[in-house]
Amino acid sequence: MNKIKNNKLKNKLKEKEISFGSWITTGHTNIAEIMAQSGFEWLTIDMEHSVITLDIAQQLIQIIEAYDVVPLVRVGEKNPNIIKRVMDAGAYGVIVPMVNTKKDAELAVNSVKYPPIGTRGVGLARAQGYGLGFEEYNKCLNEKSIVIVQIEHIEAVNNLEKILSVEGVDGCIIGPYDLSGSLGHPGEFNNPKVIAALKKVEKTCAKMKTPLGMHVIPPDYKKVIEYTSRGYTFLAFSLDTLFLASSCKEQLNKLKKGVK
């Protein structure tokens, strides 16, 4: 049965404590099991840039939760039906892409929460114990569920105060590639415009006392530490395929150099 009432990440976000998670883009339970045993506090199942379907997402959620790790889902769009269904599957919360306005943020919250806070319809799926645990789920959902808005467009940066003022938004996470792309400089993180946009987000989150996150793509822990020193607390460390690819390449190169 869903254990959202024990959502440890929710408390960390409230206290603005540092937490480390990662991204799952491969729809196989072995991947979720390996990463859940690695020490991450939360894992995000990516349904935006992967071929993971809803039924596979539920299986991954079950594995992640079984290891006492918080399961989140990055949904593919600001779609109330998709958000409702991943929450019904047992996700503790969602990361919603391209939240560019206050209206977008309100839609995200409404899609996760039950009335009177939100407008999410009631189903009797895995999250509700297939009907046997609805009352327990209903009591804790609105308090324990998580809504993270993804800031990945300059429009969102300019509207950030209004976005973060929406009740029910627990924090934001920057999508660095799309944000830089919206400025006409995709992947150019040292571009002055991109740097200025990031600084504006950092300043606004500090002012609003809102947890700020970053998805640090390279599997290099030193880069994650750099962001903690700048006030980021919700940190996604690389992703499944990149951990595998970089480790294979690094170790194979060392092997070839070691063989005379």
Q: Residue 59: exposed, middle, or buried by beta-carbon count in 10 A (0-12, 13-18, 19+)?
A: middle
Instruction: Count Cα atoms within 13 angstroms, Cβ side, for 185.
Output: 14
Catalytic residue among 28, 49, 153, 185: 49
State whether residue 49 is helix, strand or coil. coil
Residues 6 or more apart whose CB falls under 8 angstroms from that of 120 comprise: 80, 83, 84, 87, 110, 111, 112, 113, 114
Told to judge if 49 belongs to the known catalytic residues of this protein, a careful annotator would answer yes
Nearest Cα to 93, choosing from 143, 26, 30, 56?
Answer: 143
90: left (phi over 0), alpha (psi -120 to 50) or beta: left
Task: Say how far apart CA 100 and CA 112 lie, in whole Å.
Answer: 18
Do the Cβ atoms of 90 and 2 come closer than 8 Å?
yes
Instruction: Give the residue ranges of DSSP H helices in 37-175.
Output: 54-66, 80-88, 102-112, 134-144, 154-158, 160-164
Chain length of the chain: 260
Residue 89's CB is within 10 A of a number of other CB atoms, namely 23
Annotated catalytic sites, by residue? 49
